[in-house]
Structure 1
Amino acid sequence: MSRRMFALLAMASLPVHADEMGYEAYIDSPKRIKCLYGYVTAKTGNFDAARAIFEDCVVRWNDVYSLISLAQMYESGNGVEKDLSKSAALLKQGAEQPDDVSYVSLARYHWGVALAEGRGVDADHDAARTWLRRAAADGQPEADEYLQRLDESRAPAPITQ
């Protein structure tokens, strides 16, 4: 038997507690890594646990990634009642974080799109451009692409004779 096979068999025989295998174990965790587990939890369809994780991460750390993820849940209605105004409020909260916060440029992109499309807020193309420019300046290529589409839609129609 190879060493690798022996190591795998040895690990397989270690006791595993059921609560360590479920995402619910992360709901009350005081460790910030749980915010990333919220994403995986949502992707597996356990929206109740994902919502609880994201909400706790927002309360404890104002975690921008959790704000975005929770906003997307409210936008789609996955695991929560669909609420575009709540989604927009969460995106705005994320976008207003300091420049050095992780994922803030992504929040600014999503907030800019919400403003441009009037998703959960009144459409405001000028404010949308401001937020999208900030996101683009921080390295969000999607923001550049969206700004270009906004500018093309704003251009006057060509005059035909």
Structure 2
Amino acid sequence: MLHKTTIATIGLLLPLFAFADEATSDLSYEAYIESDKRIKCLYGYAADKTGNHEAAIRIFEDCIERWSDVYSMIWLAQIYESGIGVPQDLAYATALMKKGAELNDEAGYSVLARYHYGRALYEGTGTPKDPAAGLKWLRQAADEGSVDAQQYLSKLNEQ
């Protein structure tokens, strides 16, 4: 779901977390669940990618509650969309993408949320199918530079 550059950048952080002794280290994922430092949202990604889905979910939920963090909304949506570590919940995943799509974060993750929310609406994934609303969100994401949205719209135009 995430852009390749984002995944590569964040992936560089994984070695920092992989060696941590979760029971004793300040670098453990659990040590950041209640942290008031926004950097912890990156720990959510690392926790999820190393299989600690419970810590990842708790971190992402807190980041969303504290800062309306769109990055965390996207990753939490992906967890619930895939059903890895939790029961699959497409409606909740789509609701998270909608919440992110309606925001304007400085990092640009809202554009990615707009693309995914538009696609969910267009296809009826986790929400009633609404192609007109889906196209509105997809066009907005494409206008804001989402290559994924541009390609998706291009494929739709070919049909």
Q: TM-score, normalised by structure 1?
A: 0.80
Shift of 1:129: 1.1
The reply on whether 1:91 has 2:97 as its aligned counterpart is yes
Q: Which runs of 4+ in 1 moved over 6 A?
A: none
Q: Structure 1 residue 29: deviation in Å?
A: 0.7
CA distance in 1: counterparts of 2:106 and 2:29, whole angstroms = 29
Q: Deviations over 1:56-94 (max 9, x none)?
A: 000000100100111111111112111111111111000
Residue identity matched to 2:66: R
Compared CA separation, residues 80 and 92, structure 1 to 2 (3 A)? same
Gaps of 5+ in 2: 1-20
Tell me what 2:127 maps to: 121
How far apart are 1:99 and its partner, in Å?
6.4
Give the drift of 1:148.
1.1
Partners of 2:41 and 2:128 in 1: CA distance: 30
Mapped partners of 1:59, 1:135: distance in 2: 25
- Give the structure 1 partner of residue 28 of structure 2: 22
Q: What amino acid is the match of 1:108?
A: R
Larger Rg: 1
Report % sequence identity.
Answer: 55
Say if 1:68 and 1:94, in contact at 8 Å, map to a contact too: yes
8 Å CA contact retained: 1:51, 1:79? no
2:53 pairs, out of 39, 47, 50, with 47
Letter matched to residue 84 of structure 1: L
Whole-angstrom CA distance in 1 between matches of 2:90 and 2:52: 21
Query: For the Cα contact (< 8 Å) 1:116–1:125, is it kept in 2?
Result: yes
CA distance in 1, matches of 2:156, 2:46: 33
Match among 73, 77, 80 for residue 74 of structure 1: 80
**Offset of 1:112 from its aligned partner?**
1.0
Alpha-carbon separation, structure 1, partners of 2:120 and 2:107: 21
Q: Please report the RMSD computed on the Cα atoms of aligned residues, expressed in angstroms.
A: 1.7
Higher deviation after alignment, 36-45 or 18-27: 18-27
Does the 8 Å CA contact 2:70/2:105 hold for their aligned counterparts? no
Partner SS, residue 127 of structure 1: helix
For the pair 1:147 / 2:153, whether they are aligned, the reply is: yes
- 2:143 corresponds in structure 1 to 137
Task: Please list every run of 5 or more consecutive structure 1 residues that lacks an aligned counterpart in the other structure.
Answer: 1-15, 154-161
